[in-house]
Structure 1
């Protein structure tokens, strides 16, 4: 969903004089909130750029023979683009930059090059996360069959299809929102800005896009990740209970002397458990960070007053900025999960930075 936030009244310098009506947040409070969130978002996103570049370097090195490696590489690429565009989009609404006499209008240019595009790319992240979660569920339910149809080629085709289906429709935004040259009387110069084409066809098309791309598509991805994560958590608990009961049974029958025949199965189970824990951690962070965005769009669909020009405009802008902040967090912290839970990733990273001996 592309939010039209290009009007001058949205710039921070004018936010304190906005009409709040029955809004819960005053103009002065909104100014402080947006300024604080913008600064925090910039810092987190900058860190996300660094961490995702590292992730990409680690995932590229071993090649693309494993399906999980392809999916995680795609996730890192998507997160990298999200953080870069978030930095740009946030900068365009930061005092000092948005007020500067630049050859373009930052708030208007950002609509097509910053926040709007960043939202769509993060939806690509949502669907890749959903695919990773679904793939792990299939590996548990049908471990023998899944290896036949989830191959490196299949995974590559799926991530390409996800990218096209989520980012491709963004091209349609250029049919209604366009770059134009505008004369600024106060500055006596012409600058690059944006405009909106309000033909009946374009308005109808955008409404359909908002419903399909802004509401249905991200919610389906969110629910998919949520359901798969719940399944994986249940499986993990049952697997842990089964392993404890088996260890107890072996101890009672053999006096604690574990048979060699049961050891390979336990090793395989532990390896699978590590992968499941990794996926659960990634999915959990996504669910927590994507919840504000999902609730915001659901609230917009149910309550018309919760909108950019509605009675609760300031509250809407606060929640919108919170969703951007949460998105930047989600796109920046995966490196800590990989390092703490992935032995291969940890070894590769330590070798890349020439740190002592790799962890075994």
Structure 2
């Protein structure tokens, strides 16, 4: 879903004509809000492309003997693709580019080539984050069994399954959308655009799949990460209290070093999950409001408010996809040393 917001209302003093009625945000306000958010989104997305390219190089260098490297590599790949597509989708609604006499209609093709695909890939990232959080919870609850169950092969299989189950239904849901050539009398030119095929079967099929993909899938992923994060935070507090009690007793147990190592991993996963929760909240709220309030949609009474929240959610996705490198560098000793080695810097102190 992408909007062409290249033209503000002609009369900014009479904005009521730009509304479908009773919206919280006027047409004039919407224009400038979307321009500002789009500019920030581009900045975060470009940063995300750079940081995730670095992440991918580091995890490949670290190897795949540890399952966490595989999961984090998959997350970096999803974030990289998501930010690239966000850059393109945002460019399609940027004044100047969308108004140019191009051989295609940017606002029409953006959902299938930019913003829509960006949301899809970010949902893959959401499920990968849920898997990482859930795996870490299992490592705490049943550590011995998890080592047998969660191997590099099974982790790879889970990541591939996440991609298939997320991307596959999306392709089916957009069978109604077709690339077509359109003749524009005003330009006396034929350009590439998008048409929607309306048949009862395809309409029903798309509605069902949109409920699954647009509502159930993202909310289940969000709740999974939220629950696992709460569990990990509780574990960190208890572990910290245990270490303090041991320190006050003046002793050091044989398992204290392993406990510290486990704590570091849990803190890293918790930080990633917390950033995800904060940045994915606008998406979750948007999905819930769309399900509860029919007027909250691109075709409804509160379409301006919807488009503001939608654009904010895209920017939040870009932020989430851009900041993980700082968490890895701060909390991951092996990651930090590998990164510094890549740039020919002195290894950091462990």
- Any idea what the Cα deviations from partners look like across 1:209-252, whole Å, max 9, x if unmatched? 11111101111110000000000000000010011112112x2x
Alpha-carbon distance in structure 2 between the residues aligned to 1:217 and 1:173: 14
Aligned equivalent of 1:254: none
Aligned equivalent of 2:4: 11
Aligned equivalent of 2:330: 340
RMSD: 1.1
Contact residue 37 and residue 311 of structure 2 kept, 8 A: yes
What is the total number of aligned residue pairs between the two structures? 343
Aligned equivalent of 2:65: 65
Shift of 1:174: 4.1
Alpha-carbon distance in structure 2 between the residues aligned to 1:195 and 1:18: 25
Alpha-carbon distance in structure 1 between the residues aligned to 2:29 and 2:58: 43
Aligned equivalent of 1:295: 285
Shift of 1:18: 2.7
Contact residue 351 and residue 358 of structure 1 kept, 8 A: no
Q: What SS is found at the alignment partner of 1:13?
A: coil
Alpha-carbon distance in structure 1 between the residues aligned to 2:348 and 2:296: 52
- Any idea what the Cα deviations from partners look like across 1:57-81, whole Å, max 9, x if unmatched? 0000122111000000000000000
After TM superposition, the structure 1 = structure 2 runs for residues 106-125 of structure 1, keeping only pairs within 5 Å, are 106-125=106-125
Aligned equivalent of 1:318: 308
Alignment TM-score, normalising by the size of structure 2: 0.96
Alpha-carbon distance in structure 1 between the residues aligned to 2:248 and 2:347: 36
Alpha-carbon distance in structure 2 between the residues aligned to 1:68 and 1:195: 43
Shift of 1:265: 1.3
Contact residue 346 and residue 359 of structure 1 kept, 8 A: no
Regions of 4+ moved over 3 Å: none
Shift of 1:108: 0.7
After TM superposition, the structure 1 = structure 2 runs for residues 1-360 of structure 1, keeping only pairs within 5 Å, are 3=1, 5=2, 10-14=3-7, 16=9, 18-249=18-249, 251=250, 258=251, 262=253, 264-360=254-350
- Any idea what the Cα deviations from partners look like across 1:281-324, whole Å, max 9, x if unmatched? 00000000000001101100000011111111100000000000
Shift of 1:202: 1.1
Alpha-carbon distance in structure 2 between the residues aligned to 1:19 and 1:140: 53
Alpha-carbon distance in structure 2 between the residues aligned to 1:20 and 1:332: 36
Alignment TM-score, normalising by the size of structure 1: 0.93
Q: Which runs of 5+ in 2 are unaligned?
A: 10-16
Alpha-carbon distance in structure 2 between the residues aligned to 1:316 and 1:221: 22
Alpha-carbon distance in structure 2 between the residues aligned to 1:297 and 1:331: 20
Q: What SS is found at the alignment partner of 2:180?
A: strand
